[in-house]
Chain A
Amino acid sequence: MSATVEERPTPALTEPRKVAPAKDSRKLIRSQVRAGWLFLAPALLHSGIFIVIPVVAAIVLSFTDYSFGDSWSWIGFANYSELFQDVDFRAALANTLLYAVVVVPLSMAISLAVAIGLNQKIKAIGFFRTAFYLPTVTATVAIATIWLWIYNPGSGLANGFLSLFGFAPGRWLSDPSTALPSLMVVGIWQGLGTKIIIYLAALQGVSRDLMESASLDGANRWQRFVNVTWPALGPVQFFVLVTSIVGTFQVFDLVYVMTRGGPGTETHVLVLDIYQNAFQALRLGFASAETVIMMLVIAIFIGLGRLLQKADVND
């Protein structure tokens, strides 16, 4: 933090000024504006260089065959048409969509339920808060490693647990039919913490007066939830929805450590495909086209979420 921002020489604190005359106050405003822009400059510069330019660049690169070399050329929509023929990409897109469609609603519903539970006056709130947030503070790589071991067919916790009830052991991550669902479980489990905390914060902001008067009017628990709590959660729902959609589309570390996209392409996801095309096949243009598609899909999802929310409000 640089101290150079202090443009105006500051009079010593010991001689407080009397009420500033009008001419002075305009100067005062001007110095505030100047300070404001100076304060903002680093953030604007940083976001411009490291977010805005990359977004624009991704779009531009997607129309080229750039691959780290010196020469490249415009190839129009060739990357895109190739993408839709690409088996790996199609598998990755399908898997990512499926992953998002299952994980987002389930994790939102579970977190809301837990948050409502935690919002009651209960003992040991700190313990519960920490317990549910534990997976979120832990690195995904660490999480993935633990679950890799849990899903271990020979001596893992998952099969150990099943055997208590006399079930046959599963092969979990190496079985094509259970690989993706196994990852979804971990994804949901890990993502609960943040959502619970956001919901909890929002629930504490739901007007007590409204709740009280609703219960005085004879509304039961469920009616109060539907008519008071649910509408009040509107903006937060949207925030959680957007961050969860973005989060599920970003799934990478989990897959990278646990399955590497296998068996076959059963758990091949978009970011893994982008990573492989960009940094192993070194086809940056092609990978950029993938990211543009991903951007569009996320935008569509968020748009759908918005529509759902609007429909919900109009009910």
Chain B
Amino acid sequence: MTSATVPATSVQSAAKPEGIRIGRILLYVGLSIGAILMITPFLWMVLTAFKNDLEIMKFSWLPSELRWRNFVEAMQTAPFLRYFRNSLFIAVGETAFTLAVCTTAGYALAKLPIRGSKALLSYFILLLLVPFQIILVPLFLIVKSIPLFGGNNILGQGGIGWLNSWWGLIIPLGAAPLFTFLARQFYVSIPTELAQAARVDGLGEFGIFWRIMTPLVKPALITICVFQIEAAWNGFLWPLMITTSDSLRPLQLGLAIFAQNPAEVQWPYLMAGTTLATLPMIVMFVFAQKRFVEGMAHVGIKG
């Protein structure tokens, strides 16, 4: 992570500057081609969002005029604003829940003298490998039979539980083991002496966690936020399964419904909707990317 300060293999660059320069050029060319391949589809998406119905009949790059009203009309053909609000609500709720659960757990695993904390860490790593799709069906049943919700009795029978509710959309997919693991990796690298000193000063355990240690792991918090917001914002299968009403459906379901019938798709509207759905995540990443990479560094390196 601390690459910037080290002069890159100075020995070699002095020896054969010519070969290095050609290599450098090839490197930039290669990376630029790659970057173009990554960006082009998005560019195409934005450009299409401005076209009119005739222009999309045959292949072209640029729209003849910028039809901003495509965006307005797209928002009106489907309850996009509501989808937007729903997605935002799910993303914020899930991220808050994840931060609360995973930072505390990660801190406990890293810094508190719990018997078997190594085994517990292995437990969380093992859970990391369980693909969501595998537990899809039983998870649905469990969410359906949460006691005392959605008309259920205390045994979880008779109603729909958390189906078709914010609870069901937010809680089951929050607090993924990955984030507990990630948080733990960060807390481990903070000197324990800091906590000890605070303890001697009489600060309680929660105070130490909240006021001393957590402010020091900001990159971890940012990484968790970016990952979790992204996952929640982009979630598709789970909301598809457990929601039946438009009032709860997130953005991605709205888009998919738009694209459902290829014969009648109104591409400019669909692309306008997709652009609006994608923009917040891109903006977020641009701002968070540096910290985000630092965060990822901790996942792989220290076991």
Identify the A interface with B (CB < 8 A). 1, 3, 5-8, 10-13, 15-17, 19-20, 28-29, 31-33, 35-37, 39-40, 42-44, 46-47, 49-55, 57-58, 61, 114, 117-122, 126-135, 137-150, 154-157, 159-160, 163, 189, 192, 197-198, 200-202, 204-205, 208, 211-212, 215-216, 235-236, 239, 242, 246, 249-250, 252-253, 256-257, 270-271, 274-275, 278-279, 284, 287-288, 291, 294-295, 298, 302
Q: How far is the CB of B183 from chain A (nearest CB, A)?
A: 10
Contacts of B296 in A (CB 8 A): 197-198, 200-201
Q: Cβ of B299 and Cβ of A239 under 8 Å apart? A: yes
Binds A, one of B63-71, B72-80, B228-236: B228-236
Interface string of B267-286 (1 = CB under 8 A from A): 10011001001100110111
Q: Check if B297 is an interface residue, CB within 8 A of chain A.
A: yes
Q: Cβ of A239 and Cβ of B300 under 8 Å apart? A: yes
Our pick among A119, A252, A270 for the contact of B237 (Cβ within 8 Å) is A252
Contacts known (A36-B112, A36-B114); A6 close to B207, Cβ less than 8 A: yes
Contacts of B209 in A (CB 8 A): 35, 39
Q: Cβ of B38 and Cβ of A141 under 8 Å apart? A: no
Q: How far is the CB of B64 from chain A (nearest CB, A)?
A: 15
Q: How many residues of B contact A (CB 8 A)?
A: 113
Q: Cβ of B207 and Cβ of A10 under 8 Å apart? A: yes
- Measured CB to CB, the nearest residue on chain B to A237 is B300
Contacts known (A137-B282, A138-B278); A294 close to B133, Cβ less than 8 A: yes
* Main SS at interface, chain A: helix
Q: Check if B102 is an interface residue, CB within 8 A of chain A.
A: yes
Identify the B interface with A (CB < 8 A). 1-3, 6, 8-9, 11-12, 24, 27-28, 30-31, 34-35, 37-42, 44-45, 48, 56-60, 100-102, 104-105, 107-109, 112-115, 117, 120, 123-124, 127, 129-142, 171-172, 174-175, 177, 180, 199-207, 209-210, 230, 233-234, 236-237, 241, 251-252, 255-256, 258-259, 262, 267, 270-271, 274, 277-278, 281-282, 284-286, 289-290, 292-294, 296-301, 303
* Main SS at interface, chain B: helix
Q: How far is the CB of B33 from chain A (nearest CB, A)?
A: 11
With A and B bound together, what is the CA distance between A140 and B209 in angstroms? 37
Q: How far is the CB of A193 from chain B (nearest CB, A)?
A: 8
With A and B bound together, what is the CA distance between A239 and B129 in angstroms? 10
With A and B bound together, what is the CA distance between A192 and B39 in angstroms? 13
Q: Cβ of B114 and Cβ of A37 under 8 Å apart? A: yes
Contacts known (A50-B172, A147-B41); A139 close to B112, Cβ less than 8 A: no
Nearest 5 CB-CB pairings of A with B: A36-B112, A160-B59, A43-B105, A35-B205, A54-B135
Contacts known (A120-B8, A279-B241); A149 close to B267, Cβ less than 8 A: yes
Q: Cβ of A51 and Cβ of B127 under 8 Å apart? A: yes
